[in-house]
Chain A
Amino acid sequence: MAGAGVYSHALVRGIPESLAGGALRRSGEGSGVDTARAREEHRLYVKALRVQLGLVVTELPADEALPDCVFVEDAAVVCGGTALIARPGAPSRRGEVTAIKKVLSDLGLKIVEMTDETATLDGGDILFTGKEFFVGLSERTNQRGAEILANVFKDYAVSKVSVSGALHLKSFCTMAGPELIAIGSSDQAQKTLMNMQEMSEHRYEKLTLPDDMAANCVYLNIPTKGHVLLHRTAEEFPDSAKEFGKLKDYLLIPVCNTELAKVDGGLTCCSILFNKAV
């Protein structure tokens, strides 16, 4: 069974020019995305994974027809050698999965596709704790999608939690350690966490962060590095950064994500991490 954060591979994808104008965003307005800066931030992100952490990173080229294609996380859920190809809740994003599926298949993963036309699922709503799955039922993920996920990953409990006030479950809630959940401090986030705890047979510690968006961080357990956490920078979220700073025995890697955040992108959104050794 897969442990939390044990990854050997990463899949990322470039940022298309169309992102600035075409990417979906929850709030209609918002400042424009500086594509160049976004690409630079993304480059640093990928570099951290590849160079600093030694993951095998596969980088797909951007597709101009898919403004949101950089957010590969939503396209598939990979666990234990099986990749469930998602059916994104936003119709405009359904095309993203094609390339992802091919790459994952090429990487030797067992591919499971969602054929049910009524199901929707964004990878961003799937939180894998290492022991179980939580599926956020959100604007993008419906229960049917969650049921299919539950059927694919039979070893694990798959529990649904409802998400409101945010795009995805992982917009404010991610793993920050083997049994540590990073959670935003908003009411919605806290409520969701309580709900998750009630649904779970397992116990988790929680790392409460002042900023919901900062709670989207990337935890990895790299054999040579130990606990690693990619988190938003102190410039972006100073208060939350302090909280991260309290983590002991962690390799903390601040990553700037100002631009993609404008289109609801978080750190986890930009990669699919998996352990191919399984």
Chain B
Amino acid sequence: MTTEVGSAIQVNEESKGTEPDDSEASNPDKTSNGNEEAEKEIQEDEQPESTTQPLKEQEFNSSISDASTQSTPSSSDKKDPTGGKGLFRFLPGWLKKPKSMSQVETTEEKEAEEDIQTKDRNSEDEQPELMKSTSENEVVKGMETEESKTDEIVEQYSLNSAELQTDLQTDKAKKPEESLEKDADMDNEEVVLDEKKDENSKDGEVWKDEDASKKSPLKIPKKIKFMQSKVFMLDGSEFTYEIEKHAKGQIMLDKVCEQINLLEKDYFGLTFRDATGEKNWLDPAKEIKKQIRSCAWHFNFNVKFYPPDPSQLTEDITRYYLCLQLRQDIVSGRLPCSFVTHALLGSCALQAELGDYDANEHKAGYVTELQFSPNQTKELEEKISELHKTHRGLTPAQADAQFLENAKMLSMYGVDLHHAKDSEGVDIMLGVCANGLLIYKDRLRINRFAWPKILKISYKRSNFYIKIRPGEIEQFESTIGFKLPNHRAAKRLWKVCVEHHTFFRLLSPEQTPKSKFMTLGSKFRYSGRTQAQTREASILIDRPAPFFERTSSKRMSRSLDGVPAGGINEVGLQQESSCLSSTADGVKTEADALAIKDITTSLKASQLEMPVETKTEQDEITPRKEKSLEEEITSLLLSKESFSTGLVASFSSTVSQALEDAGLKEKAAAESVSLIDSKQLPETSDENQKSEMEEQAEVIVEEAIVIEEVKSAPGHSKVKLESPVENSSIVPPVELAAKESNVSSSDSRSDSEEEAEYHPQTKEGENVKRDQNECKTLTTVAMDSEISVTDIEEVHFPVTVVHKMQDVLEEDLQEMQNGKLQEAKQEHEDINPKLNGDVSFIDSDAMPEVVCYAEPPVVKTEMVTISDTVSPDKTEIATKEVPIVQTETKTITYEAAQGDGSGDNDPGVLMSAQTITSESFCQTMTTQITKTVKGGVSETRIEKRIVITGDTDIDHDQALAQAIKEAKEQHPDMSVTRVVVHKETELTEDGDE
């Protein structure tokens, strides 16, 4: 049992020397998405600071595994299948697929020899190594680079991990991890696939499209089928189209716009009603079929983005359709206005439709034929008629323009209202408009959050949250939560916010989060043109004003379909008045304090779970959890919390101690930083960071900035999912940014529910239309967690030492600690809305805009590795000496058949890792928890290594079964994905057992 330790240590030492080189070498080699690059960068950053540790650990683990396998140097060819069989009894059926058969090894080699062996592909050796490698890979997942690193590093022991793996594959041991290991290329591909899936799933989320999500990303169009779709136009007419079944929304929108000869189409969209009758926007970027599901292909053509200044539209035809939309809005009550305004707008519409007033033609009651108001009175009609006469001479286009000039001043112009409740349960309305988010009680505006004020928009389940930037009045960040009628409504609102923010505030749309880390949830982004872009484009429109026929809007002919059903949009008048109450967290200070408490409690809880916390250098337990990429899937999956541990291996054992040390330091630093205003941050951060790497220092700076932004977010309570932050605004760091790695925080608790985050602020940087003071923008959510960590750490360690180092490592460490906390917390339900699902990470992509969306769908899987070692002798490490003791080693792996998304090679970003070791009677349990965010999915893996030592008088099978059972009980929300039974039996030298 203990043998491993010794070997591991040795390995570590060796690795230390080599590490730096490896990392560097590995990085350049990697060809990867921006995300991957980011990850790589992260790794790099981390390495310098933490180089020794993470690498050590990785190697360590690997070494350990090798050691373990090899360590049983005792030469024996005896196989003891019985032990394995015995275990079967206790394993769930699905686990009973032994992927790798146990093999008896006689390993007498020295470490150097080991390599050779691996080369030789001793099947026995291979397996153990595979095991190892897989674990390593998993750990590494967080960083692709790491994979490469690991590979390189691993070379020492097993040069051929890849080969071995391949061999294994042949054995049909297709573990995702393995595949990961195989090639970087593979990883890439998988990543891509994942993305596709995500896209698909986006819509699915709304619809619970489980099937879709599960579908293989590769869509192979079978036969081209066409669907008949109807589009109800603003003038009441209907168009019917034959649309290819798998066509995306954009295709239909294009067809419609083509038919009506509309060029400035970016302001428009198609809506459909879902099964619940709610109006949804058809996402142009996604397949229609997947969005509307089983509903009829009936759509309404509507204005999606109301231009604040319609006079800036290029073409009259565009204004015409805007007018039609507004008339519809007015009639439906969505756009309320006074009597006088009704009359004025009605008269303009009348002029546009009928032309000049003609006493002969326009007999009494002519106005009645047209509808201009929800409840049109005679008085109003008379007034309209009266005003109509004053418009003599106006052309239809001029009348439209006048209509719009008046309509645009209405306070509810272009405001998309959503029913919600505030934290006190009071009915309110959330209005999304060009400039931000408006909060209404009844019709009274009780709050307003301009886009620049909003740091993050997120939803979780049916809750919708906005995180507010500290302002002149409020000194702290606060998160305000609203309760939407249901999950779909929350998501709808969130999407509308994302779209409006992008369209009106950004110069160009943000990139869809490619990486997995970023997206823990919906990867939805607005992918169309922004207002700035569409204006630019429309300037180029060079065609004679198109002729278009103005359809009569006479009441009789009006199609009901054209009139939007009340639905969400209608503002309900509600009588109770209440103020928006910010959530409990509203005040930062309070929040922080609370958070700290939470944390502590959580810690206690966690400690309770594992009574004995020992820092062990051996980490073999690698819990793995895999998360499904897809939100939906995630949601389906029940996993509550996911811990993501990317670098698990790297940090694992060492980490724990390191954590404390570093943790303290970091905390100090972080705290100091947090106190500083964002402006000052960079400097301070620099100081703090004087650590080893200068470049990193810059990077750090960014982080610091992030921190500031994040500060208030008491990350503690929540698990933070991070959304990748892309540093756009920071110019100098750009290069660095490229190098930067993503630090992703993991979600401690990812509920199966969908969540998503969107960080508008990030965008402020260059992409934002107006300048803002605030800009520095790189917001990294990750910081949140860190910050929170800081708090936590403080709690833990009374003594705070201020260190100037702020390294990625430290961050990681912090995160790791977070992880602990989070874990602990997992048990506790999220109380703080703020906390939920924030994931922080730093994305070094050169992308100017940072959008953080984190959707939480995380699937937890738990991997239990149980090694049953019987031979006490194994302690002896066969290093260079021929092993004296012969041991029989069996390894049996039971793996869940799940096709976890985790399989993808994407390393993800390590959010946290921790190792806990507990000893009892005849059994030593090492728990390693790693949290990783990859591909937007945060993944928590818990790997428990349980070493059962004892003589034959102990029923090992029973003990194992018990251990598995306990492991399950400890993490009821997680699933066991793999059980590896490693049995070492000491063979008497005689060969007798």
Contact = CB atoms under 8 A, between A and B. Distances in A.
A binds B: yes
Interface of A: 1, 80-82, 110, 131-132, 135, 142-144, 146-147, 149-151, 153-160, 191, 194-195, 198-201, 278
B340 A157 contact: no
29 contacts: A1-B406, A82-B338, A143-B444, A143-B446, A144-B577, A147-B442, A147-B443, A150-B442, A151-B442, A153-B338, A154-B336, A154-B337, A154-B338, A154-B410, A154-B443, A155-B409, A157-B411, A158-B444, A159-B448, A160-B444, A160-B446, A191-B473, A195-B473, A198-B450, A199-B445, A199-B447, A200-B448, A201-B435, A278-B340
A191 B472 CA distance: 9
A55 B753 CA distance: 64
A195 B580 CA distance: 14
Contacts of A131: 409
A80 B340 contact: yes
Contacts of A80: 338, 340
B739 interface: no
A77 B361 CA distance: 41
B473 A157 contact: no
B577 A151 contact: no
B954 interface: no
Contacts of B578: 143
A154 B444 CA distance: 10
The A interface is mostly helix, strand or loop, or mixed, namely mixed
A151 B406 CA distance: 19
Contacts of A149: 444
Interface string B325-366: 000000000001111110000000000000000000000000
A150 B445 contact: yes
A194 to B, nearest CB: 5
A146 B410 contact: no
Nearest to B578: A143
B453 interface: yes
B573 A155 contact: no
Interface in B460-495: 471-473
Contacts of A195: 473
Contacts of B445: 150, 157-160, 199
Given A151-B442, A158-B444, A201-B435, A194 B338 contact: no
A160 B411 CA distance: 14
Given A194-B472, A198-B453, A150 B443 contact: yes
Interface in B418-466: 433, 435, 441-448, 450, 453
Nearest to A200: B448
Given A147-B577, A153-B338, 9 more contacts: A131-B409, A146-B577, A151-B443, A154-B338, A154-B411, A155-B340, A160-B445, A194-B472, A198-B448
Nearest to B472: A194
The B interface is mostly helix, strand or loop, or mixed, namely loop
Contacts of A191: 473
Nearest to A142: B577
B693 interface: no
B579 interface: yes
Shortest beta-carbon contacts, A-B, top 6? A157-B411, A143-B577, A150-B443, A150-B444, A159-B445, A147-B442
Contact of B473 (A82, A198, A201): A198
Task: State which size class the interface on B falls in.
Answer: 20 to 34
Contacts of B447: 199
Contacts of B453: 198
A84 to B, nearest CB: 12
Contacts of A81: 340
A112 B441 CA distance: 20
Contacts of A154: 336-338, 341, 410-411, 443
A258 to B, nearest CB: 34
Contacts of A142: 577
Contacts of B575: 147
B137 to A, nearest CB: 50
B441 A147 contact: yes
Contacts of A132: 411
B339 A110 contact: yes
Contacts of B339: 82, 110
A195 B453 CA distance: 13
Contacts of A278: 340
A156 B435 CA distance: 16
Contact of B471 (A1, A198, A200): A198
A143 B471 CA distance: 24
Contacts of B411: 132, 154-158
A143 B575 CA distance: 11
Contacts of B338: 80, 82, 153-155
A81 B473 CA distance: 36
A1 B443 contact: no
A110 B380 CA distance: 14
B444 A1 contact: no
B892 to A, nearest CB: 64
Contacts of A146: 444, 577
B441 A158 contact: no
